[in-house]
Structure 1
Amino acid sequence: MSAWLFAGSVFMIFFAYFGYPLSLKLIRPRHAPVQKMSILPSVTFIIAAYNEEKRIGQKLEDTLALDYPQDSFQVVVASDGSTDGTADIVRTFEDRGVEFLEMPGRSGKERAQKAALERARGEIVVFSDVATVLEPHGIRAIVANFADPSVGCVSSEDRLLARDGKPCGEGAYVRYEMWVRRVESSVHSVVGLSGSFFAARKEVCRDFSGEMQSDFRMLLSAVALGYRGVSDPKVLGYYQDIADPDKELSRKIRTVVRGLTVFFENRRFLNPFRYGLFSYQLLGHKLCRWLVPFFLVVAFGANLVLALSSFFFCLLFVGQAAFYGIAAAEHVRKVPFGHSLLRIPGYFVTVNIAIALAWKLYWSGHRIVMWTSSER
């Protein structure tokens, strides 16, 4: 029994991270490339901000400098009850065409975005976080995907900028996640968007929820209308890693709780008779990944039992213990290891601890609509 538990858990861990994307190529070997074309539809650019006086000015300068026809480019900033100087700074940009919407009190990022959508005039709506830096051609590049009538929403690819200039554990994970999205885009649809920079057709936004994670929920709205979501490697969003590493765990917990909320509120997408390959993708990419912490615990326990009577399993157990030991050492030191390979165990363990804690919060009825963005 222990051997079967160990083998099954290891298989599911491998499947969640590598088996799933590889299986997509086997299930759908023929690629479904995006038919991109240079087009210039009207665009509404939405920024939701809360107490961003340190960064909102530069964000708006960069936004207004983007290479896109100004007569087709609407910029809307929604302040989610900011109590600092954010509102005053944004108002100085109103004579340059920026539209400002001040929410009377804090209600959450998605509610601010929903309020901004009521002012949107563009055929394409682009959402971007204050902390995310775009390339000058970013808007032209992202809207080019909408020349393909099958595309309902488009995700940027994330580029993490480490503060010390060295690769970090999160950076390696981000590169892996972007690879998975490229695989998904090449065969059908992604199952999530980069919340820091993504775009959607105006009609996809009509079902926008002010209560749920907008990037994940937006993708599901597109699929419900018969569209697909894609990730474009030529559309990049740059952001720095979190200034305070101690807050990394809470950020990940928040992200997963919000993802679980959207997933279970939209269980109908698990019906393969209606949504076909996308249902498999939702299970493979989302649910299987969120179950990894439990498979890790089972694999560790089963390996411990097997190690008592097998030299081979004893070696495997030592390997597991060393992996977790490296992660623990980095946590105790409070300083990332110099070599990028040594940083991966710490990030991997942090992610899965966050997922496990998120499950606990979700099943206890906890939901997250409001939060303060992590300082980067």
Structure 2
Amino acid sequence: MAEGLFWCAALLLLHTYFFYPLLLCAMDGVAQAFQSIRFMRTGSNRRREPQAGPLPSVSLVVAAYNEASCIQQKLQNSFALKYPEDRFEVLIGSDGSSDGTDELVRQCPDPRVRLSPAPRAGKTTVLNRCIPMAQGDIIVLSDANTMIEPGAIEALVRHFEDPEVGAVCGKLRLYNPTKQDYEESAYWSYESFIKFYEGKRGAVVGANGGLYAIRRTLFTQLPPSTIVDDFVIPLRILEKGYKVVYEAGAVAHEETTEDYGKEFGRRARIAAGNFQSLKMVPGLLLPTAGFPAFAFWSHKLLRWCAPALMAVALLANLFLMDSLFYQFTLFFQALFYALAYLGKAGVLKGTGRRIASIAYYFVTMNLAIVVGFWRFLRNAQKAAWDRTARASS
């Protein structure tokens, strides 16, 4: 039984972190090969030619809570976007800001900017209020501290020429002004890689809250208690049978935090919201949903089970010490956790320090899942979010 538990846990961990990304690459390779064969046989173009039709109207919706330090920069960034002025508006939904955010938005002379203030109730309530009042056919959602590159909006909305596309996820680049190499950067690149290949199959599981777009008609009101709206909104669209794709050319930049305690709290909050989301998209749990269900289980559900799987693999390994092979597997597990501890202590240098930091990041990320699950069970995670401190703040 111990051996069975060990291999079950190990293979599920390997699947969610390694086999699933490799499978996505293999599936894309097969699809490309079949497209090449069809092209050789029929001469039909492998790629859909881009349309040159008129661009749809767009509303950039930003939920803001006490963002006085960056809201003017956000507005300036929005005006610099390359999109027809008569088809673009910026809608700022203030969630009870008390630091002068509302006043700064009101001072903006550009008629394309609208402010929707209301008492503090959480980001989900802001979106439930602002998206229906938006005038654009396409809603682009972004955060106040996320700066969007000029051509990103057009790159996003061009995908909606395909009537089967319901949402488009942009590429969010994280940066730290005081640390060139930091732990989240490697993991975020890995996640973006997965989203890229999921997008080729029209099944990106969740969006980057800093930049994604949806059809306004596909938005449905969320329960006010929803914690991770940027996860639930695209999943609901995917559940309806629409494609959720990824656009690597739609780039936005967001600064990370130096406060590791707050970063851990943010991860725990997201984890609690992830577990909460299961009851909101029940259709994606069923095999009848096809590849989107497979992606949801492989990319998300097994990740959320990773702390339990890691514990099972370690405990089961302790009962298998009569085998040299399992002595090695226990040694490597112990080495990994020792590296995580050294990553926390910061005593290593060079490459060793970076490897240890990644191990520490991985362990703390999974500890945050445990904390988030406990908050979910106790219904202790509030929907209203706190502004995350940034390195330059």
Give TM-score, length-normalised by structure 1: 0.92
| 1:138-149 alignment, distance < 5 Å | 138-149=152-163
Give the Å deviation of 1:86. 0.6
1:37 CA displacement: 4.2
Q: Which is further off, 134-143 or 94-103?
A: 94-103
Among candidates 185, 210, 216, match of residue 196 of structure 1: 210
What amino acid does structure 2 have at the position aligned with 1:174?
W
SS in 2 for 1:121: coil
Secondary structure of 1:264's aligned partner: coil
Determine the structure 1 residue equivalent to 2:31: 30
Partner Cα separation in structure 1 for residue 2 and residue 336 of structure 2: 21
> Once the two structures are aligned, what percentage of the paired residues are identical?
32
Distance 2:48 2:342 in 1: 45
Q: Say whether 1:282 aligns with 2:282.
A: no
Specify the code of the residue in structure 1 equivalent to 2:334.
A
The count of aligned residue pairs is: 372
Matches within 5 A, 1:21-100: 21-24=21-24, 29-30=30-31, 36-37=50-51, 39-100=54-115
Quote the offset at 1:207 in angstroms. Answer: 4.2
Pick aligned residue for 2:126 from 112, 117, 142? 112
**DSSP 3-state at the match of 1:374:** coil
Of 355-364 and 173-182, deviating more is 355-364
Q: Distance in 2 between matches of 1:45 and 1:209?
A: 22
Tell me how far 1:364 sits from its aligned partner: 2.2
Among 278, 283, 300, the residue aligned to 1:263: 278
Which residue pairs with 1:371 in the alignment? 385
Contact 2:342/2:356 (<8 A) preserved: no
Look up the match of 1:219: 234
Report how far residue 158 of structure 1 moved. 1.9
Alpha-carbon shift at residue 217 of structure 1 (Å): 1.8
AA matched with 1:220: L
How far residue 94 of structure 1 moved from its aligned partner, in angstroms, is 4.5
- Stretch deviating more after TM superposition (105-114 or 297-306): 297-306
Whether the 8 Å CA contact 1:257–1:368 is kept in 2: the answer is no
Equivalent AA in structure 2 for residue 13 of structure 1: L
Give the CA deviation at 1:184: 0.9
My pick for the range that moved more, 27-36 or 176-185, is 27-36
Q: Relative to structure 1, is the Cα distance of residues 243 and 25 closer, same or farther in structure 2, using a 3 angstrom cutoff?
A: closer
Q: Tell me the CA shift for residue 272 of structure 1.
A: 2.5
Following superposition, the deviation at residue 301 of structure 1 comes to: 1.3
Give the alignment of 1:105-184 within 5 angstroms. Answer: 105-184=119-198
Contact persistence 2:343–2:358 (CA under 8 A): no
Unaligned runs of 5+ in 2: 36-46
Which amino acid is the alignment partner of residue 163 of structure 1?
P
- Using the TM superposition, name which of 206-215 and 235-244 deviates more: 206-215
Q: Distance in 1 between matches of 2:275 and 2:337?
A: 26
| Counterpart residue number, 2:311 | 297
What letter corresponds to residue 61 of structure 2 in structure 1?
A: I
Match of 2:362 in 1: 348
Amino acid aligned to 1:78 = G
Distance in 2, Cα, partners of 1:344 & 1:259: 23
Deviation at 1:164, TM superposition (A): 3.1
Distance 2:304 2:329 in 1: 24
- In the TM superposition, residue 350 of structure 1 has moved relative to its aligned partner by 1.0
CA shift, 1:278, in A, is 1.4
Q: Tell me the residue number matched to 2:344.
A: 331
- The alpha-carbon deviation at position 30 of structure 1 amounts to 2.6
Q: Does 1:313 align with 2:323?
A: no
Deviation at 1:210, TM superposition (A): 4.0
Q: Find the counterpart in structure 2 of residue 249 from structure 1.
A: 264
Relative to 1, partners in 2 of residues 1:36 and 1:352: Cα closer, same or farther, differing over 3 Å?
A: farther
* SS state at 1:41 partner: coil
**Secondary structure, in 3 states, of the residue corresponding to 2:203?**
coil
CA separation of 1:19 and 1:59: change in aligned 2, threshold 3 A: same
Unmatched segments (≥5 aa) in structure 1: none
| Displacement after TM superposition at 1:341 (Å) | 2.6
Partners of 2:371 and 2:379 in 1: CA distance: 13
3-state SS, counterpart of residue 14 of structure 1: helix
Is 1:34–1:148's contact at 8 Å kept on the other side of the alignment? Answer: no
Deviation at 1:279, TM superposition (A): 1.6
Amino acid at match of 1:310: S
Shift of 1:172: 0.7
Give 1:315 shift.
2.6
Answer with 322-331 or 246-255: which moved more: 322-331
Q: Counterpart amino acid of 1:317?
A: L
Task: Note the C-alpha offset of 1:305.
Answer: 2.8
Q: Does 20-29 or 46-55 show the bigger shift? A: 20-29
1:118 partner SS: helix
**1-structure distance, mates of 2:88, 2:362:** 40
Counterparts of 1:215 and 1:119, CA distance in 2 = 19
Q: CA deviation at 1:20?
A: 2.2
What whole-Å deviation, never above 9, does each CA across 1:110-160 have from its counterpart, x for those lacking one? 111221113211110001001111111111111111112221001112211
8 Å contact 2:91–2:116 — kept in the other structure?
A: yes
